[in-house]
Structure 1
């Protein structure tokens, strides 16, 4: 069976970080994800997806992301249920996130609300603190040299 979810959206509120009785961190948050089409009045609608993330990624998300932050998440859909005190059964469907990435600079969302016409490059931050390379979109990856010195034997094709 396949149960994979990949979402990109904005946080509707600050992540809520809590700790279980055995000390595991868990953060819950809600992600607003735009639909690919507009409604009859030309407005783009969004889905609001409940998400949960555990352990170190939960702590990192709570420390670096806040309401309005654009993030990408990878995880799976999970449905759980519990019984209320009144005896009613409640079903909850949520995305259990394995990984996330911040998809813009920290001040980018603030600038976007102040100046919506600014075209800003997005950078990503992986919760594993892997190299955060700040490559410009149209920059030359080989520096200022106009030719690359490589033999035909080194080419994979």
Structure 2
């Protein structure tokens, strides 16, 4: 049996993000910038991505421009024709799932600031409950996986 797979996995930074509404569903359309190494020169390629439904709500709530995400989805072709009759065919990634890998630095600073607020008892309890809290934030700053 010969089965063709249409699966895309991309890791990159969000460059633009807009809400979209159609007759059937609402979603988020975003541009994902992905680093590429081509002939020993570092460049970035942009991919148009769309996410729908509950996933879109979650995506909007937890991500923002310049956040690093991993998306898994499939390609969807978008043929169109100009007013003078020229035909073009583009493609977009329909996102099935995503994973937030890194938030931009100002967001990390705010998370750290918020975590230091509170009384001494709360701080002591937080340290006892989550001894690896600071290591996780350092891991998010690691760019080796991008």
Using structure 2 for the length normalisation, give the TM-score.
0.64
**Rg larger in 1 or in 2?**
1
Cα RMSD for the two superposed structures: 2.5
More strand by share: 2
Number of aligned pairs? Answer: 110
SS in 2 for 1:121: helix
Which consecutive residues of structure 1, in runs of 5 or more, have no partner in the other structure? 113-118, 124-157
Runs of 4+ in 1 over 2 A off after TM superposition: 36-39, 82-90, 108-112
Q: TM-score, normalised by structure 1?
A: 0.60
Which residue, out of 140, 143, 146, partners 1:122? 140
As a proportion of its length, which structure holds more helix?
Answer: 2
Describe the superposition over 1:72-119 as per-residue Cα deviations: whole angstroms up to 9, x where unpaired. 000112212123444332322111110111112x4x43378xxxxxx8
Aligned equivalent of 2:81: 83
Structure-2 residue corresponding to 1:7: 10
Cα distance between partner residues in 1 of 2:26 and 2:57: 7
CA distance in 2, matches of 1:80, 1:21: 18
